[in-house]
Amino acid sequence: ESIEKGGYEHFMLKEIFEQPKSILDSMRGRMIAENDHLMMAGVREFENKFQNADRIIIVACGTSWHAGLVAEYLFEDLARIPVEVEYASEFRYRNPIITEKDIVIAISQSGETADTLAALELAKSKGATIFGVCNVVGSSIARATDAGAYTHAGPEIGVASTKAFTAQVTVLTLIAMIIGKKRGTLETTKLRQLIAEMESIPSKVEKALQLNEQIIGISEVYKDATNFLYLGRGYNFPVALEGALKLKEISYIHAEGYPAAEMKHGPIALIDEQMPVVVIATKDSSYEKIVSNVQEVRARKGKVIAVVTEGDTTIPAMADHVIEIPETSEHLVPLLSVIPLQLLSYHIAVMRGCNVDQPRNLAKSVTVE
Ligand code: G6P
């Protein structure tokens, strides 16, 4: 086992550090920057269906559901198709309205999650077209779909999903770009920029991983906290949910992820000097808005741990801790902003003596409902 861990103390840490490669593997051969060419065999078969789809319904559980939320922003923004993101377990039991013009995308690392499989079978029986985004080749969900695109994250052993999430987001981004191009909703110049930016993501992830030492320091400060709040807006809202989930899963600290603006409708009541608040506040279209949210947290003496874009000076002037990530397009920012949050949860869990790779009560793949 120690050989399999490749010198890392835990599988989770190894998998976090594998992300430059797993992201690259998930995009390799699927795009060519020079002539804005994108290709995915599974999508090609389905291009006309995607082009004419009335809506896309995404079904998933856990971290894969968070990747689905990122995809909602991507598909609506780049391809202008309405998207609904569903917890598979709720969707399957509520008599959902599904038509033959719907495309259902099932996202699953293992391809074996019982609720996701049942949700897609239900949608299939109502005539929807089923597309899969799975990591495990030949898995039950992969086999049950009409077409799909694999993520190439490689085997993920740590129960808390890390590299599978970024691989899912990578593949879903490419799909949104392909469909956007086909539907004419994504103009060529923007598409070219996105492809070029996508190509630089693995090296930017590499850079984000260099934050490790700094994050160990921040983890020391907050390892005994009993609660954490994670805030984000836009593309970083799903990242806030994912950051909170990672912390809960492996450190057993109660954490909530929230859309930053929604904080005033509840969680703000929890903020005092004991409350660490992780704010993902990169330079994007909601930046000015999130600056005000940080002020609201400060005014209640919350401790602000801010994830910002390199070179930002406004938020650093207000935050207790500043984590700088490389600049990128806002469409791709989750691939970078999630990295420090994975590291933060990992180090806090290790410092608390938790079993990081096999947290209590959790399973890598939930094959019963
Ligand atoms: C379990 C795992 C999570 C995972 C979820 C969905 O809860 O512990 O890491 O995100 O199942 O799994 P899937 O294999 O369908 O992505």
Among 50, 99, 98, which Cα is nearest to 75's? 50
pLDDT score of 106: 98
Average pLDDT over residues 16-39: 88
Centroid of ligand 1 to alpha carbon of 64 (angstroms): 7
What's the CA gap between 274 and 282, in Å, rounded? 24
Q: Is the pLDDT score of 1 beyond 80?
A: no
Instruction: State the pLDDT confidence band at 136, using cuts at 50, 70 and 90.
Output: very high
Q: How many residues does the chain have?
A: 369
Average pLDDT over residues 163-172: 98
Out of 16, 64, 89, give the residue to mutate to test ligand 1, the one with the largest number of ligand atoms within 8 Å of its CB: 64
Q: Say if ligand 1 is within 6 A of residue 33 CB.
A: no
Q: Is the pLDDT score of 29 beyond 90?
A: no
Question: Active site includes 364?
Answer: yes
Average pLDDT over residues 340-350: 98
What's the CA gap between 168 and 61, in Å, rounded? 13
Please give the backbone phi and psi of residue 139, each rounded to the nearest 5 degrees, phi first. -70, 170
pLDDT score of 36: 76
Out of 69, 70, 110, give the residue to mutate to test ligand 1, the one with the largest number of ligand atoms within 8 Å of its CB: 110
In sequence order, what are the beta bridge partners of 58? 85, 105
What's the CA gap between 111 and 137, in Å, rounded? 8
What's the CA gap between 329 and 176, in Å, rounded? 15
Centroid of ligand 1 to alpha carbon of 337 (angstroms): 20
Amino acid identity of 49?
Answer: K
Out of 109, 358, 369, give the residue to mutate to test ligand 1, the one with the largest number of ligand atoms within 8 Å of its CB: 109
What's the CA gap between 281 and 92, in Å, rounded? 35
Q: Say if ligand 1 is within 6 A of residue 142 CB.
A: no
Q: Is the pLDDT score of 219 beyond 80?
A: yes
Residue nearest to atom 2 of ligand 1 (CA): 364
Centroid of ligand 1 to alpha carbon of 63 (angstroms): 6
pLDDT in tens, 4-14: 898 999 999 99
pLDDT score of 54: 86
Average pLDDT over residues 44-49: 86
Average pLDDT over residues 77-105: 96
The average confidence (pLDDT) of the chain is 95
Centroid of ligand 1 to alpha carbon of 188 (angstroms): 36
